[in-house]
């Protein structure tokens, strides 16, 4: 069989493509292209590209630029995830699932939970810039689930009741805040992660934990970190009066302040406590109002009480209140299309459409999380503690901490 004739002009084209070297991309253009690729894809590429690209992707500055660009363009592009642990049983596993899958999957397509197993049971103190701060009552370490790297565990010891983890953006430092209980009383300390990691005692926490004269209750013992402000935040609330406020710690100045919250309605049930959260990078609070609906507020300019804006009114759907509990709706995550993921008072994850008022119950398959005594996530979220993080390339070695990849191991699902 004769081969087909080569079209006129092709020999010259073939000669050009085989004799001329491929075009060389400028380093700036390569970096710009790589900055547009999701973190999880870059992690997969890192070991299969040329050494110059691998060096670029692994650098501290690239990790910062990638995180900043991704969060500015659309936080959903950073693959937001939820990590959780059991607050009742000492399982050595931490479950992780994709928030995007929760929003995008159809009811018959479950969102799969993947499990990571450590050497012992660990609590999650907080999350920031893709890092989770883990603690096992003796040691603390930082872990990036996306890259798989952890810092070597650091001895901290002691028993603590109030804590928080966040980022000091002015001094480029990650900090751990603890109130340690000793026989002589409580001690308030900050630990700065770095090559010369040290504890420092700071000004006492302005709320006395076990004082019977307290007029308010500290509702969350783990502070909410608000990115861009360098602050940790706790909710103060009274079950007898309408008093509500936010107690804030500035990680840059290491000083405290109190922020006013929107007033609760005089007809509200004061025994139903509000829920503090962060949404779209802002502080948020949710109240149950007159037993008929939940009111969601967001603070558009941090620290300015007049910037509290009513974001949504969500009807108290009967399916979200059975059995009734003494807490409001807990906001978890919100997309640009005004669909809100919440943890309802009866412990179910719910997608609330703020435009038409409809609700949906996402299908989350937690059978592989290793927490065999807990009910499936699709039926009940408790007793689990949840933390949201955005996938990033930030790794402990970027700020001088010895790192390893063996402390948290991905558990392969059984066949």
* pLDDT tens digits for range 94-148: 999 999 999 999 888 999 999 999 989 999 999 999 999 999 888 899 999 999 9
Phi, psi of 7, rounded to the nearest 5 degrees:
-55, 150
**Continuous segment of H or E residues that includes residue 321:** none
| pLDDT above 60: residue 18 | no
DSSP string computed for 22-47:
PPPPPHHHHHHHHTTS-HHHHHHHGG
pLDDT of res. 93: 96
How much is the pTM?
0.89
pLDDT range class, residue 9, cuts 50, 70, 90: very low
Tens digits of residue pLDDT in 270-309:
778 899 999 989 999 999 887 788 999 999 999 999 999 9
260: left (phi over 0), alpha (psi -120 to 50) or beta: beta
DSSP string computed for 167-196:
EETTTTEEEEEEEEEETTEEEEEEEEESTT
Going by C-beta distance under 8 Å and a sequence separation of 6 or more, which residues neighbour residue 241? 215, 270
pLDDT range class, residue 324, cuts 50, 70, 90: low
Mean pLDDT of the chain: 87
pLDDT of res. 21: 59
- Please indicate whether residue 271 or residue 408 has the higher confidence score (pLDDT): 408
| pLDDT above 80: residue 171 | yes
254: left (phi over 0), alpha (psi -120 to 50) or beta: left
pLDDT range class, residue 360, cuts 50, 70, 90: very high
């Amino acid at each position: 069989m004769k081969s087909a004739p080569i079209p006129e002009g092709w020999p010259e084209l073939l000669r050009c493509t085989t004799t001329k070297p491929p075009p060389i991309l400028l380093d700036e253009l390569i970096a710009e292209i790589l900055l547009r690729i999701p973190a999880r894809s870059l992690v997969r590429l890192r070991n299969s590209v040329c050494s110059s690209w691998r060096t670029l992707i692994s650098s501290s500055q690239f990790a910062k630029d990638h995180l900043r660009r991704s969060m500015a363009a659309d936080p959903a592009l950073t693959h937001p995830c939820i990590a959780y642990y059991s607050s009742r049983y000492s399982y050595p596993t931490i479950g992780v699932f994709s928030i995007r899958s929760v929003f995008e999957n159809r009811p018959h397509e479950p969102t799969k939970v993947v499990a990571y197993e450590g050497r012992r049971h660990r609590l999650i103190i907080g999350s920031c810039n893709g890092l989770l701060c883990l603690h096992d009552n003796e040691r603390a370490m930082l872990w990036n689930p996306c890259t798989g790297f952890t810092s070597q565990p650091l001895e901290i010891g002691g028993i603590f009741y109030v804590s928080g983890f966040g980022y000091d953006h002015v001094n480029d430092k990650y900090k751990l805040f603890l109130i340690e209980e000793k026989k002589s009383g409580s001690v308030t300390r900050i630990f700065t992660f770095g090559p010369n990691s040290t504890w420092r005692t700071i000004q006492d926490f302005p709320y006395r934990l076990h004082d019977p004269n307290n007029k308010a209750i500290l509702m969350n013992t783990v502070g909410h970190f608000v990115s861009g402000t360098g602050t940790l935040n706790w909710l103060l609330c009274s079950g007898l009066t309408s008093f509500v406020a936010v107690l804030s710690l500035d990680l840059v100045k290491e000083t405290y302040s109190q922020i006013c919250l929107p007033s609760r309605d005089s007809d509200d049930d004061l025994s139903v406590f509000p829920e503090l959260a962060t949404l779209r990078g802002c502080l948020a609070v949710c109240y149950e109002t007159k037993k008929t609906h939940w009111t969601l507020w967001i603070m558009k300019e941090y620290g300015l009480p007049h910037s509290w804006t009513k974001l949504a009114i969500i009807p108290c759907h009967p399916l979200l209140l059975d059995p009734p509990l003494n807490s409001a709706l807990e906001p978890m995550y919100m997309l640009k299309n005004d669909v809100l993921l919440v943890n309802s008072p009866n412990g179910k994850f719910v997608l609330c459409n703020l435009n038409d008022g409809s609700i949906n119950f996402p299908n989350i398959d937690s059978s592989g999380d290793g927490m065999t005594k807990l009910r499936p996530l699709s039926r009940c979220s408790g007793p689990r503690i949840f933390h949201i993080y955005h996938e990033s390339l930030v790794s402990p070695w970027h700020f001088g901490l010895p790192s390893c990849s063996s402390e948290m191991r991905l558990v392969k699902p059984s066949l």
